[in-house]
Each structure stands twice: as structure tokens, then as C-alpha cells.
Homo-oligomer: A and B are copies of this chain.
Amino acid sequence: MSSNWGKNLKISIFGESHGEGIGVVIDGLPCGETIDMDELLAFMKRRAPGAHRASTPRRETDAPTILSGYWRQHTTGTPLAAVIRNNDTHSADYSNIATVARPGHADFTGYVRYGGFNDIRGGGHFSGRLTAPLTFAGGVAKQILSRREITVGAHIYSATGISDTPFDPVTVTGELLREVGAKPFPTISQKAGEKMSDAIEAARLELDSVGGVVECAVTGFPAGIGSPMFDGLENVIASLMFGIPAVKGIEFGLGFEASSLKGSQNNDSFVLHDGKIQTKTNNHGGILGGISSGMPIILRVAFKPTPSISQMQHSVDFVNMTQEELTIHGRHDPCVVVRAVPVVEAAVALALLESMLGQGKI
């Protein structure tokens, strides 16, 4: 089992990188919601390869076909299924890695898990390409939230050791979130973005790759959504976020930094502001006890560097049990983080929609 998620909003993702097609079934969407297809395709394009030199030159139109659940410009309330056909596949590129495990990839673990039966071409079901249907689903969720004045946005918080201006956890606005998302290289600081972009290009020329951190914020999310213990917003978001390949960490609010503070430094005082309860600071990242506080939700997701690099690496042929030298050809993103920004937004949007549906709030 692997690719089902959710209780009230159920998503079922399928497909392999070089198979017939990939897609998603979304069950539990509210009925009567319009999907702006141009906006959805623009959102998916942010994830699509080829938009930036930091991404793989593989070109997929990634155009989803909706098979069900959408009629007369509205969601029907019954399962919405979308399929993306795989077109531009070069399976030959992967022929020599059939049994030599690529370091940092799931070739070996997938082999053990599935007894050698899983489709390994292009990473198969483990491929980052599977984030396309996730982004589709999240794009639908984003629009549903947006209609309720809830904005989800993200930027590259850091990459190659260079940091962008972080979101201000108290004053971040939906406008800023939309503005950053519209950029081809989504950083708040133009200068930081250029530096990162140059450093990524330098890594690419060294046949290497880099990692990074994506920061996501949500504005307009109402207080009182979520639950203590296992259905908290942090649990729900994290359970989805680790479904994105290369994610190795997640933190909310100050996160790991909070662990070195004192309570008097970390606690956020409550204040009355225009007759509404807010916190003066927002170290808690908008979530207390698993439940939203009404302050912006803030989280950061750590991505490891793309494991596919074109330098020679040492590895093992897991079928023939021999030590091997491996050089990966293929086409790969030198930095997965650029394209990961909308995927993180998608995961957060889905998690929040799920939590709101679970409380009958949508």
C-alpha cells in the first residue's frame, strides 16, 4: 500500500514515470466548486520541468485530462479523476541502472520491497514526476481555499547555503504569497534568488546537485481547525509532505530553532487587536495543540540535494551482488527545490482542506 491519503478528502495517486500515464482520484471534494482551468494549469506549470535552467530539460506537457467528477464547470461531489499521459520518455537512459542502485535513490529499497517487480524506469512510482498529480489535486484545493480568503504560498527559503528573506510570520499577506508564487524563481529577495540560481548553475556544471528548504505560509486560515494528538494540523500536513520525494525534514513556526530558546523567549503573548484575539509574535507558526490559532501558518520543508548526479559514484549491483562504478546519464534537476515550491503549497492546501472538511467547515 502506498499512495492513498486522507479521511474526508481522499486522494489516490497512481502511475510510474515511464508507464502509460499518471494521475489522481480525489474523492470527497465539495460539490459546486468551479475550477479555473487556466489558473490550475499555470499552477501546475510552476512544477513542470523546463521552466527554469535549474530544472531537467525533459519536456512534459503535463496536461491533465479530467475523466470524471467535473460537469458544467463545477465539481459534482463525486470522485474527480485526472490523468496525465506520459509522452517524452527516454527509457533507454536508464537501462544501465536496472540493477545497480543509484545512491540516494529508492532503487535498492524498492527492489527489496517489491521483490524486483516494480517498474524501475525513470524511478517508476518513486519518481518526482508523481508530484504532478499531487500538484493537480493541490491546485484544486488551493482554489477552493482561496474562494474562502485562505491563501497558501511558498518560496525558496534557502538553497546552496544562500538564504532568502523569510516570511514575516505576523505580517505576511496573501498578496505577497501570490506575488512570490508568480515568479519563475520564487524568492522574495531578487538578489538572493540570483545568487541561488548562479550557485545551482555552478553545481550543474560540476555535474553535481544541491538541496534546499521551502518555506510555506498560509494566511486567512480560521482559528479552531485541527485536533489534539494524531489529527492535528501538523500531523496531517507532515503525513502528506513526506510523500514528496527528497523531503527529509519539516518544522512549524520556529521549529528546531525553538528548541534552543527559553519559554520566556518562545511563548507568544496573546493580544487583543481590533477586537480579535491574536498573538504578538508568531513563534508557534499558527498552530497550538494541533489546532489553528488564526495567525498565519508557517512551516519549512527540507529537501536533500537531487540524488541523480552525473559524477561517477560507487555502488552495488543488488542482483548480481557485485561492487560497481556508476555514472548516471539521463536528465535531472540540479536542484529539486525550485519545482518543489508549488508541490509544498499543494500538500499544505490538501491537508488544510481535509482538516476543514473533517470538521464540516466547508
Chain B residues near A283: list those with CB within 8 A.
304
State the CA gap A313–B252 with chains docked (Å): 23
Does A321 reach chain B (CB closer than 8 Å)? yes
Smallest beta-carbon distance A319→chain B, Å: 11
Chain B residues near A231: list those with CB within 8 A.
1-4
Smallest beta-carbon distance A184→chain B, Å: 21
Q: List A residues 209-225 near B (Cβ within 8 Å).
A: 209-213, 223-225
Asked if A260 and B32 sit within 8 Å, CB to CB, the answer is no
Chain B residues near A69: list those with CB within 8 A.
14, 16
**Of B67, B242, B280, B321, which is within 8 A of A290 by CB?**
B242
Smallest beta-carbon distance A331→chain B, Å: 15
Asked if A316 and B277 sit within 8 Å, CB to CB, the answer is yes
Does A167 reach chain B (CB closer than 8 Å)? no
Asked if A68 and B21 sit within 8 Å, CB to CB, the answer is yes
Asked if B2 and A224 sit within 8 Å, CB to CB, the answer is no
Does A284 reach chain B (CB closer than 8 Å)? yes
If over half of A's interface residues share one DSSP class (helix, strand or loop), that class is named, otherwise mixed; here it is mixed
Which residue of chain B lies nearest to A236 when distances are taken between CB atoms in the complex?
B239
One digit per residue, 1 when the CB lies within 8 angstroms of any chain B CB and 0 when it does not, for chain A 243-263 equals 101011111111110111111
Chain B residues near A361: list those with CB within 8 A.
360
Q: List A residues 271-294 near B (Cβ within 8 Å).
A: 271-272, 275, 277, 279-280, 283-285, 287-294
One digit per residue, 1 when the CB lies within 8 angstroms of any chain B CB and 0 when it does not, for chain A 179-219 equals 00000000000000000000000010000111111000000
**Of B108, B159, B229, B284, which is within 8 A of A277 by CB?**
B108
Asked if A160 and B232 sit within 8 Å, CB to CB, the answer is no
Tell me how many chains of this kind the complex includes: 4
Given contacts A117-B71, A261-B305, whether A289 and B109 have CB atoms under 8 Å apart is yes
Name the segment of A23-31, A51-59, A139-147 touching the other chain.
A23-31
Smallest beta-carbon distance A187→chain B, Å: 15
Asked if A77 and B305 sit within 8 Å, CB to CB, the answer is no
Smallest beta-carbon distance A79→chain B, Å: 4
Asked if B27 and A262 sit within 8 Å, CB to CB, the answer is no
Q: List A residues 138-180 near B (Cβ within 8 Å).
A: 158-161
Asked if A271 and B118 sit within 8 Å, CB to CB, the answer is no
**Given A249-B252, A267-B309, A275-B321, 13 other A-B contacts at CB below 8 A?**
A2-B78, A3-B27, A4-B230, A19-B71, A21-B81, A22-B67, A32-B117, A203-B262, A213-B256, A235-B243, A248-B284, A250-B251, A264-B311
26 of the cross-chain contacts (CB-CB < 8 Å) are: A1-B28, A2-B78, A5-B230, A20-B66, A31-B114, A71-B117, A71-B118, A78-B119, A101-B270, A103-B267, A106-B289, A106-B291, A108-B223, A109-B287, A109-B292, A113-B227, A126-B228, A210-B263, A230-B243, A235-B243, A249-B250, A256-B302, A259-B304, A259-B305, A266-B304, A359-B360
